Chain A
């Protein structure tokens, strides 16, 4: 059974710092890994999608990597800003085309 774990559960850093969020999964048979952000009381916004054959994806200040063999992904946020404060979720699409979700990392960027 696929399980997705995100560490840390919460993170608070000063504005301007670079930071890394971690995601691990137990079964390497995935179609993709996706990172989302969720703002309080709102839905999810897709940030990056990495197909299983890819190693990384970049969008602006965000970079996500995927190491399928070790079951790990990292989301790197450069030059963090207060607007980056949100909960970040990772999810893997398993062999049944279902998204299995991590519990999320709550990120607070202090001005």
Chain B
């Protein structure tokens, strides 16, 4: 069974540009969540999608957005890039067992390393 796939693996952009990152979850997983990891702030939750609907959102500006498709694949978009957006962006998928989120195990992709120059 294939794991969580994130593309591209590395990305270099300049300030002001926008970027789209992709995440394909494990087959059968319907929940996808996104995280930003930086040396200064560590790991921070961005947002979560389940059944094509955003279910949860972290404390990030509106420049960060995402969506989920009917096949559970997800994309996140960052517009008007800033230097501080340089980070490793991680995607995780889960089976989302009915109702019991306390037992929800996450499976992570290898991430997209974004550098903003």
Interface residues of A (CB under 8 A from B): 31-32, 34, 36, 41-46, 49, 51-53, 89, 91, 93, 96-104
Contacts and interface: CB of A to CB of B under 8 A. Distances in A.
A96 B56 contact: yes
B80 to A, nearest CB: 25
Nearest to A103: B42
A91 B43 contact: yes
A44 B108 contact: yes
A77 B10 CA distance: 33
Interface in B43-90: 43-45, 48, 55-56, 58, 90
Contact of B42 (A41, A51, A104): A104
Interface of B: 4, 6, 33, 35, 42-45, 48, 55-56, 58, 90, 92, 101-111, 113
B102 A32 contact: yes
Contacts, number: 58
B28 to A, nearest CB: 17
A91 B43 CA distance: 10
Given A43-B110, A43-B111, A52 B102 contact: yes
Contact of B105 (A42, A46, A89, A91): A46
A45 B108 contact: yes
Lowest 3 A-B CB distances belong to which pairs?
A43-B108, A101-B43, A31-B102
